[in-house]
A and B are shown apart, each in its own frame.
Chain A
């Protein structure tokens, strides 16, 4: 077709042209240049934005849900990028707890609850790998966005502990337990925080190992020394100790992060070396 010159000022004012004219605009550089010059908007600039969005990876379900709930884009991306919230991590954790729950359901009333025993172990692994430069692909976000290192730490801990609590809750109910109760929540939180603290100072693997070792030592010691290991592990005195210990470890962890402005740790130095 011939150049639809007379139409161009009207198209730039919002007239939707017939299909053949639209197709011409997409293929004729001269007409495209003219209509772009006439346009009240910067079409090249807008296209750069469209192309950049189209080429960017799509936000996942969790990130989109957080944004919809009013969480800022950067924070939502940071939370959604938590390594231990990836499906493979969650599936492994859920699988471990599910096996324990099924074992308990098959043989009810048979000694210590496997689910409650495993809750701190799973939490230690999830939390240790939730935060830190050695495991966190989104670590650069902490430096590149106004998100403070302390807020980043607390966000990650809260999100991962919440996710783990949901898994344990479901497993406990399947196993015939009452669901949410301090007997698993407080020790789980304490062991997870110990794992996070050691993990931030050293490496996620050592952090998880330290948390699991601590809990295993506590369980084996009480089982071998006491006739009533449940009372020692989950009784009122133990719960108070878990609560005090959790607050102390969390305070130390926050102080460490604030003082270092992030992860100025052995793990960080190894990563940047």
Chain B
């Protein structure tokens, strides 16, 4: 298994596969943080895209010190702030301190599968059912939608509400 550092080195040699792997590893949590930092989904998606494009175009800007994830987050955060400055209809992003490493360390310290299960059990039944199927049983969203007879969009809304509730309980 290649490390993040090896992926960055491969990207510097033009390895597109390394970029894809890096994206699969880091985009889920970066997306979550960006979405928490701004109320604009468009802006968050643009910042996420720009972050990986910048990493691809200039992988040598990672100087080999510290964590690759922290480097990516710094790029994404800067990009989000820059995009938000150009949009008068979007409030300024949430300060980094509220989203950064300290909050993560706390959440990881609190992390306990039993606590997550307990948080899931406390969800409303509709949300709990979708989380059970998609997250814990690994069923595909389209299959769950077909089985329950509801649109995929509705399931995504339930998942998003559930996700927020679980994170709030873990941060508490």
Contacts and interface: CB of A to CB of B under 8 A. Distances in A.
Given A15-B167, A25-B24, A54-B56, A33 B140 contact: yes
Contacts of A33: 138, 140-141
Interface string A30-47: 111111111111110111
A35 B56 contact: no
A6 B53 contact: no
> Which residue of B1, B3, B29, B45 has the most chain A CB atoms within 10 A of its CB atom?
B29
Given A37-B141, A38-B134, A14 B33 contact: yes
Given A3-B138, A14-B31, A14-B99, 18 more contacts: A9-B116, A9-B163, A10-B166, A15-B29, A15-B108, A16-B33, A22-B25, A22-B26, A25-B25, A33-B138, A37-B134, A39-B28, A43-B28, A46-B45, A46-B49, A47-B20, A49-B49, A50-B49
29 contacts: A5-B135, A5-B138, A9-B162, A9-B166, A10-B167, A12-B29, A13-B36, A14-B32, A14-B33, A14-B99, A14-B104, A15-B107, A16-B69, A16-B101, A22-B25, A23-B1, A23-B25, A25-B28, A31-B138, A37-B155, A37-B156, A40-B35, A40-B160, A41-B44, A46-B49, A47-B20, A51-B20, A53-B53, A54-B56
- Interface SS of chain B: helix
Interface of A: 3, 5-19, 22-23, 25-27, 30-43, 45-47, 49-51, 53-55, 58
Interface in B117-168: 117, 131, 134-136, 138, 140-141, 155-156, 159-160, 162-164, 166-167
Given A9-B135, A37-B156, A50 B113 contact: no
A53 B46 CA distance: 12
A51 B17 CA distance: 10
A62 B76 CA distance: 26
A19 B4 contact: yes
B135 A8 contact: yes
Interface of B: 1, 3-4, 16, 19-21, 23-36, 41, 44-45, 48-49, 52-53, 56-57, 69, 73, 99, 101, 104, 107-108, 111, 113, 116-117, 131, 134-136, 138, 140-141, 155-156, 159-160, 162-164, 166-167, 170
A44 B125 CA distance: 29
A30 B133 CA distance: 12
A10 B107 contact: yes
B121 to A, nearest CB: 12
Nearest to B55: A50
Q: 5 closest Cβ contacts across the A-B interface?
A: A14-B32, A14-B33, A40-B35, A13-B167, A26-B24
Nearest to B99: A14
Given A32-B24, A33-B141, A35-B28, A41 B167 contact: no
A7 to B, nearest CB: 7
A49 B27 CA distance: 13
A40 B136 contact: no
Given A22-B25, A33-B141, A50-B19, A13 B134 contact: no
Contacts of B29: 11-12, 14-17
> Which residue of B48, B57, B69 has the most chain A CB atoms within 10 A of its CB atom?
B48
A9 B117 CA distance: 11
Given A13-B167, A22-B25, A37-B156, A45 B45 contact: yes
